[in-house]
Structure 1
Amino acid sequence: MYSKIKYILLMFLAISITSCEEEFLDRTPTDAISASDALASQENMQLVLNGVHRGLYSQSQTVFPGGNSARANNHYWIPLGDNITGGLIHSANANNLSWRSAMQWNEHTQPTSLTVELLWYHRYNIILHANLLINGITSGELTETPELNSILGQAYTYRAYAYLSLVQHFGRGYLIGDPATDPGVPLLFSSESPFTSQPRSTVEEIYTQIGLDLNDAITAFENGAPRPSGGAEAKSQLNINVAYGLKARWALSKGDWQTAADAAVKAREGYPLLSESDWKAGFYTNDLSEVIWGSHVIQAETTFFRSYFYLASNTFNGSQIRNNPKIADRRLVDAIPDTDYRGDVFLPDAPNSNTSAANGNGGWANNTNPLYTTEDEFDAAIAEIKSEYGLVSGHNTHPYMHFKLKQANPGTIDPDDIIYMRSSEMYLIEAEAKLMMDDLDGAKEALRPLAEARDSAWNADDFTTEEDFFEHLKFQWRLEMWGEGFGYTNHIRWDEGINHAADGGSGASEVLYQNAYQVEKPSLNDDWIFKIPLAEINANPNLSTSDQN
């Protein structure tokens, strides 16, 4: 942070819109204004905020010096949570953007890896610009307006979001460690050079700051202007529901169950559950009724072969997907009742057309599915899947492949939105929080709207003990939020390891997954904690090698 962050703000602000060269604008598609003018007006502060919005999904080299085109920020960080925990399963050997290396636990466990370095600097980039806005607005030099309060609310929410991400990745899980003494991450409040930070604060201190920021965000939003109405782009702007949603996540991760339940209810107000057709549409747009917050990816800043959908969606026309269709854990898919329409987006009987498949069963010559008795039947099934889902000729198919995440224009490299928060998550949080308070009936009632909306035969009476319901709730989390990046934080909160071999197997290849095929639970394995970038330790005078996780 110390070496790079002192340049981040300058890069973001130093060149004004009127004096920018066209080349810079082509390379750096953000709203940039001069440093001296950044806090001069409410309008300029909104431009800074818009830059943070776009920085969530832009290529990292456009956000800070030393960034890299191989990571487009949340396009990578969101699905990473399911990639490293084995929910989003690779069916073949492909390592574009180090996606296989991350799956094999060879990225977040290495202090020199691009993944840990860019995640660290991206989150501190958000904090730096949030500090700029918070410090500028709270100085009292501008007249308070509802619009200015909304900017302030977004800045506090962004800072809380970034610190929660940092402490959950670079610190030990709150519920499985000793937060009062476990090292967290450095706190940074400066918005002026030299941007020095404190040494690593404890996990508890970081969580306390997050809580303060979220409370301040909610207060500011209560006195602010409403989020603009409109299309998918409106939900790129943060609002009070986003702040409550983050408060629900924060409280759940620290065991503040009542706060988590209460905040989850407030977060989902005004965001009705999806219909069956909308749930199956592909999760490519913020326009979905459940979406509380997401990045609206504009054409001028698309990342193409660095996108979320390139890494995770089987309709994307890129080699990472064509050669390596992503599959779901067959233990999860096989457990989905026939009455639950979410099962329709997984294809357990898809032919394995990939002769390079990791399981060695690719191609008609290696077919093991008794549904296909002739090569013509095998080929016809492949053709039908390609036709139905818009795949191109080079796309491979594989048993248990998914079509939950689908592009607006399948078979292309077109950009799509990144969804960060849905109301479904809030039902799951409320149900889990109530269960943790030993309120089994309350937990069932909290889950009921979501469960009944998805499964026409769902019956709360099927679960008679807290243990039974907790296992079912975990199933609901894994199914509803599959592919949306919650695997990592769920595993840590539940203190669960990874075992692709258990209970009949997940469908992952041990040869491909290597040491990540079976991983001990987080309380017993410090490799769940991301390494601090070596570049940060070498440059920051407040950190040393003894601070490494």
Structure 2
Amino acid sequence: MLNKIKTLSLALVIFAMTSCQEDFLETVPTDSVTPAVALTDEASMQNVLNGIHRGLYSQSQTVLPGGDTARAGDHFWVPMGDNISGGLIHSADANNLGWRNTMQWNDHTLETSLTNEILWYHRYNIILHANLIIDRINQGDLTETPALRAIKGQALTYRAFALLSLVQHYSKGYLIGNPSTDPGVPVILEPQTTGPRGTVQQVYDQIGVDLNAAIAAFQNAASRPNGGPETKSQLNINVAQGLKARWALSMGDWQTAATAAVAARQGFPIMSEADWKSGFNTNDLPEVIWGSNVISTETTFFRSYFYLASNTFNGSQIRNNTKIADKRLVDAIPDTDYRKDVFLPDAPNSNSSAANGQGGWSNNTNPLYTTEAEFDAAIASIKAEYGLVSGHNTHPYMHLKLRQKNPGTIDPDDIIYMRSSEMYLIEAEAKAMMNDVSGAQSALQALGGARDTAFDATAFGTQTALIDQIKFQRKVELWGEGFGYTDKIRWDEGIDHGANGGSGAAAVLYQDAFVVEKPSINDDWIFKIPQAEINANPNITPSDQN
């Protein structure tokens, strides 16, 4: 394993308990598990998987030596995708957890940054644990049962997930580079080994091998348990197919992407308007294929996804720094599309410290409010409707898509990783890229028609028109769910907050991130390899730095 992870003894890296009952996922924090001596049976391997599940959202110091309380796994990594790409817009200056540094591109561009280091080691920690399970099963002395096949499928899927995350952040995009020669990331297939970067193509090849093996294992495996939101933390064949769809889309294997996307969404129907508007705070939503069920004993609180991204969270990052959506995007949503309702273009700017300098009644330019009383009443109405506390500010184009179950609190909520809507959009994009116009229209209509009573996919009758509409639909449907970074790399799109009337971001706050050249000509889109890894890994030298 990579050196920093390799230093862990087996007793430290294997999460285990005396049983693998489902309530483990609901009641037991990561740092209270009992170390195991060996992976002797299915129960002990399931406990390692449970540790991986928990490590996706626990504070990193409970997972990694040298971890930090400021990074709680995918609580940070998921919204980071929209923070970096300019979709989740800051309205004021607030740098809790380094969130402003991330937004300003003063984080992933530094080899010594906490984000670069923790993301790297978190994903390799997943790979280490997956390798321990895979290696144990491959020894061949255990009876192959449906439960064991499910465990193997999950381990292989996790390894593929971690490798895909790593190569998409620490290497040049597959479609905009030269995969056969571009440096990839180390492919670690055995516990506690190390290796060189290899190539992007080699990493993608291994991801494909792992996902196909995972799907084969799941086909005759025990089903994922039925129950509450905690069951969707367990990976299954749908998750593996969904990751295969993402993997194939990112490298332009359009037919594979379309086929896998259709398979992934089976059994996960498009959700209703009421569900879509409920806050995206629980795995119980029918569309959710995979997500982390966050338990209160994990105490992420001020390090959670919603602390960074939800305007209902009662934390200083949010109260003074209302998160807004790109007004160009919101204004383009048809009035017949109910997704427009979660954005508030006419919310008063109540923040005297707003980056645009337009906060407070004295700077009001919205003709809806002709008196200060009307201005204040609108603020009070928003706070009352959405559960904001007195310290929360409001701002034009603020969003209420991501909302807590208990608004105005510091309660952490579930993290959604994969929904069936994404799979419809993958199918549509892949078929459009193959110039299968009718096939793309059909997939797009299934989703767009569910969201917008006037939507007609046949209005987009050419490949170009379809691709433009699919991009728009992805930006609306998946807003705030972390896909902005990988989408922009795949589409080779830069960032320009000032173009076409402006996004609503303030240049004085965004600084060099206000305009960013497209990924094919700007290598700053690639995360720096942690300096700690270069120092520790003999197979990676300063010349390997991105």
* TM bucket normalised to smaller: over 0.9
In 1: Cα distance, 2:486 partner to 2:458 partner:
29
Kept after mapping to 2: 8 A contact 1:131/1:189? yes
In 2: Cα distance, 1:243 partner to 1:263 partner:
9
Match of 2:22 in 1: none
Q: How many residues are treated as equivalent by the alignment?
A: 538
Match of 1:160 in 2: 160
Secondary structure of the structure 1 residue equivalent to 2:89:
strand
Match of 2:461 in 1: 464
Please state if 1:229 is matched with 2:231: no
Q: 1:357 to 1:308 in 2, by over 3 A?
A: same
In 1: Cα distance, 2:323 partner to 2:369 partner:
22
Q: Deviation of residue 142 (structure 1)?
A: 1.0
Please state if 1:454 is matched with 2:451: yes
Q: Deviation of residue 7 (structure 1)?
A: 3.1
Q: Deviation of residue 170 (structure 1)?
A: 0.4
Match of 1:415 in 2: 412
Please state if 1:478 is matched with 2:475: yes
Q: Deviation of residue 30 (structure 1)?
A: 5.4
Please state if 1:427 is matched with 2:424: yes
Kept after mapping to 2: 8 A contact 1:189/1:197? no
Match of 1:321 in 2: 318
Match of 2:35 in 1: 33
Kept after mapping to 1: 8 A contact 2:492/2:519? yes
Superposed, 1:66-77 pairs within 5 Å as: 66-77=66-77
Across the aligned residues of Structure 1 and Structure 2, the Cα RMSD in angstroms comes to 1.4
Secondary structure of the structure 2 residue equivalent to 1:293:
strand
Q: 1:30 to 1:458 in 2, by over 3 A?
A: farther
Match of 1:538 in 2: 535
In 1: Cα distance, 2:15 partner to 2:158 partner:
24
In 2: Cα distance, 1:27 partner to 1:167 partner:
30
In 2: Cα distance, 1:523 partner to 1:356 partner:
36
Q: Deviation of residue 15 (structure 1)?
A: 8.6
Kept after mapping to 2: 8 A contact 1:359/1:509? yes
Kept after mapping to 1: 8 A contact 2:460/2:466? yes
Secondary structure of the structure 2 residue equivalent to 1:82:
helix
C-alpha distance after superposition, 1:220-248 (max 9, x if no partner): 10121000000000000000000000000
In 2: Cα distance, 1:12 partner to 1:125 partner:
12
Q: Deviation of residue 266 (structure 1)?
A: 0.2
Kept after mapping to 2: 8 A contact 1:7/1:65? no
C-alpha distance after superposition, 1:68-96 (max 9, x if no partner): 00000100000000000000000000000
In 2: Cα distance, 1:28 partner to 1:434 partner:
42
Please state if 1:265 is matched with 2:262: yes
Superposed, 1:428-447 pairs within 5 Å as: 428-447=425-444
In 1: Cα distance, 2:322 partner to 2:231 partner:
32
Match of 2:24 in 1: none
In 1: Cα distance, 2:260 partner to 2:15 partner:
40
In 2: Cα distance, 1:250 partner to 1:288 partner:
24
Q: 1:479 to 1:12 in 2, by over 3 A?
A: farther
Q: 1:538 to 1:494 in 2, by over 3 A?
A: same
C-alpha distance after superposition, 1:161-186 (max 9, x if no partner): 00000000001000000000000001
Kept after mapping to 1: 8 A contact 2:369/2:375? yes
Q: Deviation of residue 27 (structure 1)?
A: 8.2
Choose the corresponding residue for 1:378, options 375, 379, 383. Answer: 375
Q: Deviation of residue 415 (structure 1)?
A: 1.5
Q: 1:30 to 1:205 in 2, by over 3 A?
A: farther
Match of 1:51 in 2: 51
Q: Is 2-11 or 97-106 further displaced after alignment? A: 2-11
Match of 2:23 in 1: none
C-alpha distance after superposition, 1:369-418 (max 9, x if no partner): 11100000000000000000000000000000000000000000111000
Q: Deviation of residue 299 (structure 1)?
A: 1.2
TM-score by length of 1: 0.96
Secondary structure of the structure 1 residue equivalent to 2:179:
coil
Q: Deviation of residue 198 (structure 1)?
A: 1.7
Kept after mapping to 1: 8 A contact 2:277/2:401? yes
Kept after mapping to 2: 8 A contact 1:9/1:129? no
Residue 236 of structure 1 aligns with an amino acid whose one-letter code is: S
Kept after mapping to 2: 8 A contact 1:30/1:51? no
Structure 2: state its 5+ residue gaps: 19-26
Q: 1:368 to 1:27 in 2, by over 3 A?
A: same
Q: How high is the sequence identity, in percent, across the aligned residues?
A: 71
Q: 1:13 to 1:3 in 2, by over 3 A?
A: closer
Match of 1:350 in 2: 347
